[in-house]
Structure 1
């Protein structure tokens, strides 16, 4: 894990940027409280709204909004990065809340130009920025007090797992998060990604932290990374199996390949950087170090 002091510097920067953006992004408090038809775009945004007890106000969600389960019963407006502006507008929303990165740009521009309240929630790939994200969603829907309570609870949970990991005395396992396989290459998560943030929070070491974001790796890079464990998302169209992963000669030649160390976790739970992040990190820590660290 990065030193806590370094992590805090990164989060302070992200939080400062969020504070600058919010006044221009958020509707007035009165408008936010009156919003009765919310379209939530992004699984973490949806999860936060439900965690604040406001799920009844959500009239439509995107395909990544899989938690809580009742959110999946709402009308669906498409994948977070491929939303249909017409689909959103057909729900007659009075407030649209989207994670940063929602798209395509043309659809987002149409929604912004529609005159409806459109709020974009910045999502820095750092676990310590989660409380600020919760507060931003809370302000957007007029539930700032509830959001403050939730943010403090989540902040305390994150601090607790950080302290547990810091106190561990054993060696850290090198984890390779594999998003998918394409043309025989592993699409892996480097630094400045949600997977990297969660691996560090769980007490692991990102095997490919030398790269930034999600990048395809050459066979030589996979072998040089020498991961102890391969971690993937469970379910979904890009679900990667252990058989597929270790059929690659480069992965088979790594410590993970020799021991068949392969872990799967729900994608939103692991990568959403939402209210359940500390729980996900504890679960991942337990899987990485079943006998303790």
Structure 2
């Protein structure tokens, strides 16, 4: 299903030698992107399916996917470090690799504004601290600019369609929820008890969102689409306020997420303008 890399604080669970890592296996697309961002892309000797950015990453050997990895292929690549996302399906294989003496560290995301910390820690283990610092500073600066740009904007009630079948959204303490805060909009499922709840169409109808955001994700699976036009009583449907976003930008905990956030906030601002115009016209009629 989704290959979400929903983590924010990079927690290193194992000590790593002071010697910079030279042969790295990166077990998530966002880890690959962040390594390239700090100039360590050439040190990656293996990765997983969907690690497709930048273009050079498509040429890297793949040793598995979200559901599993090959211990044999990894050992054959002779890595001195594995950087993994905390994925339950990978856990048994990673434990076996550790028993063979391979160093493993973990990436775990929870806070949007902590991504610079991940870049800095990657810089530390690769010996590329100055490049990592530069990218971290740029990320912080741009994120602060986006927050300032929209902090005074009128709020909107937004439904985020994470996946159509089963229908899933975001809420709770997910870092995607924090993206809505940057855009200064209200996620109608912000009070969900889980970060990525499965919901029903009826749940959405009761929330009456003003905007429906639909994530578009690359997948080998056929995705069912929801014909929201069937429910014209929903404000988003009535006013045709649908927004499509690139999941590769928003769902990966990488420096590129700023592109996705900027795109989402900009499109939501267009919806704001629509509702503002509707209100002015309504007030004029009265």
State how 1:114-125 maps to structure 2 within 5 Å. Answer: 114-124=100-110
Separation in structure 2 between the aligned mates of residue 292 and residue 221 of structure 1, nearest angstrom: 23
- In structure 2, the CA distance between the partners of 1:162 and 1:179, relative to structure 1 (3 Å rule), is same
Displacement of 1:41: 1.1
Which residue number in structure 1 is paired with residue 140 of structure 2?
A: 155
State how 1:200-239 maps to structure 2 within 5 Å. Answer: 200-211=181-192, 212-237=194-219
Whether the 8 Å contact between 1:122 and 1:133 is mirrored in structure 2 is no
State how 1:138-217 maps to structure 2 within 5 Å. Answer: 138-168=123-153, 171-182=154-165, 185-211=166-192, 212-217=194-199
Deviation sequence 1:66-86 (CA, Å, 0-9, x none): 221221111112223532333
Separation in structure 2 between the aligned mates of residue 49 and residue 112 of structure 1, nearest angstrom: 22
Deviation sequence 1:178-207 (CA, Å, 0-9, x none): 22233xx52111122233222222332212
Query: Runs ≥4 in structure 1, deviation > 6 angstroms?
Result: none
| Rg comparison, structure with higher value | 2
Separation in structure 2 between the aligned mates of residue 118 and residue 256 of structure 1, nearest angstrom: 46
The match for 1:131 among 98, 116, 134 is: 116
Which residue number in structure 1 is paired with residue 5 of structure 2?
A: none
Matched residue SS, 1:163: helix
Separation in structure 2 between the aligned mates of residue 147 and residue 102 of structure 1, nearest angstrom: 29
Return 5+ residue gaps in structure 1 as ranges: 1-13
Separation in structure 2 between the aligned mates of residue 60 and residue 271 of structure 1, nearest angstrom: 21
Which residue number in structure 2 is paired with residue 245 of structure 1?
A: 226
- In structure 2, the CA distance between the partners of 1:266 and 1:78, relative to structure 1 (3 Å rule), is farther
Separation in structure 1 between the aligned mates of residue 93 and residue 233 of structure 2, nearest angstrom: 45
Whether the 8 Å contact between 2:241 and 2:271 is mirrored in structure 1 is no
- In structure 2, the CA distance between the partners of 1:101 and 1:91, relative to structure 1 (3 Å rule), is same
- Give the length in aligned residue pairs: 265
Return 5+ residue gaps in structure 2 as ranges: 1-7, 274-286
RMSD, aligned α-carbons: 2.6
Displacement of 1:291: 7.3
Q: Which has the higher contact order (CA 8 A, sep 6+)?
A: 2
Q: Under a length normalisation based on structure 2, what TM-score does the superposition of the two structures give?
A: 0.82
Which residue number in structure 2 is paired with residue 280 of structure 1?
A: 260
In the alignment, is residue 83 of structure 1 matched against residue 69 of structure 2?
Answer: yes
Displacement of 1:224: 1.9
